Amino acid sequence: MAFVFPARPQPAVAVSGQQTLFPVNRIYCVGKNYAAHIREMGSEASRDSVCFFLKPADAIVTDGHMPYPPGTGNLHFEGELVIAIGKGGANIPAGEALQHVFGYAAGLDMTRRDLQLAAAKVGHPWDTGKAFDCSAPISPIVPVAECGHFHHGSLKLRVNGELRQDADFSDLIWKNHEVISELSKLYTLQAGDLIFTGTPAGVGPVVAGDRIELSIDRLCKLSVAITPP
Ligand code: MN
C-alpha cells in the first residue's frame, strides 16, 4: 500500500572514509555523567541509576548549521562523545557491550536550558529542553576499527576559538560499556542507535553568529555555526 503522503527521509550520518551512511534509529542520551558538570548544575554525583533521556532521530544536524531555536533565551552547548551502535540486543552484559559498537562520533547535546530547568523545577519531563528540532549536531562516525574504544581520551570544546570544555573520558561516572549494558536492560537496542554519553563541566550559552568547535582525539572535528532563527 502506498503512503498517504511521502515518508520523511531516513536520518543518516556519514561514515568517515567511506561512501556509506549510518542510518539513525533512536538517539539516547546520558545525563549527569561527569561529577564536575553535576556540581555546576547544583547537585551531587551518584551511581544509583543512570539518567537517560531521548531525542528524535531527525534532530541530527550534519551540515554544520544550527538555526537558533524558538522558545528559549538560554541555548547551551554540551560537547559529548557519541557511541554508534552497530549490533542490537537486550540485556547485554557489560563485558560484551563494546562488541555492539559500530563506531564513535563527536556530538552536541544542544539544550534549551531555561526550558529544561523550568520543567525540572515542577517535575515535568525534559523533552522541550532537550528533544527539539536540530538539537543534535554530529560529526561523521569513525568506525571502531580505526579509532578504537574510548576508555580515556580528550574532549575539547571551543566557542569562537575560546576553550570552554576540556575533559578526559576517564572521568565518566558511567563508562561506555556500562551505559550500553544499562540502556539495554530498559530498551532493545538496534543497529543505528546513537548514544550521547554526557557532557563535562563548562557548559554555557551561545547566540546566533557563534561557532562551536568540538575536538575529540581520534575522531572527526565537529564545527557548528549558530545561525539566525
Ligand atoms: Mn548532555
At 10 the three-state DSSP class reads coil
Q: How far is the CA of 4 from the centre of ligand 1 (A)?
A: 36
Q: How far is the CA of 82 from the centre of ligand 1 (A)?
A: 10
Q: How far is the CA of 167 from the centre of ligand 1 (A)?
A: 14
Residue matched to cell numbers 538539537: 135
Q: For position 37, what pLDDT does the model report? A: 92
Contact 14, 21 (CB under 8 A): yes
Q: How far is the CA of 183 from the centre of ligand 1 (A)?
A: 16
Q: For position 166, what pLDDT does the model report? A: 98
- Pairing mode of beta strands 222-227, 65-67: parallel
Q: How far is the CA of 2 from the centre of ligand 1 (A)?
A: 39
CA–CA gap between residue 34 and residue 155 (Å, rounded): 13
Distant-in-sequence, close-in-space partners of 7: CB < 8 Å, separation ≥ 6: none
Q: For position 183, what pLDDT does the model report? A: 98
Does the model's pTM come out above 0.95? Answer: yes
At 34 the three-state DSSP class reads coil
User: Helix-strand-coil percent breakdown of the chain, rounded to 5?
Assistant: 20, 35, 45
CA–CA gap between residue 195 and residue 168 (Å, rounded): 18
Q: How far is the CA of 214 from the centre of ligand 1 (A)?
A: 14
Residue matched to cell numbers 539495554: 184
Q: How far is the CA of 1 from the centre of ligand 1 (A)?
A: 40
What are the backbone angles phi and psi of residue 182, rounded to the nearest 5°?
Answer: -65, -45
Domains and CATH numbers, the chain: 12-227 (3.90.850.10)
Per-residue pLDDT in tens (0 to 9) along the chain, 229 residues: 999 999 999 999 999 999 999 999 999 999 999 999 999 999 888 899 999 999 999 999 999 999 999 999 999 999 999 999 999 999 999 999 999 999 999 999 999 999 999 999 999 999 999 999 999 999 999 999 999 999 999 999 999 999 999 999 999 999 999 999 999 999 999 999 999 999 999 999 999 999 999 999 999 999 999 999 9
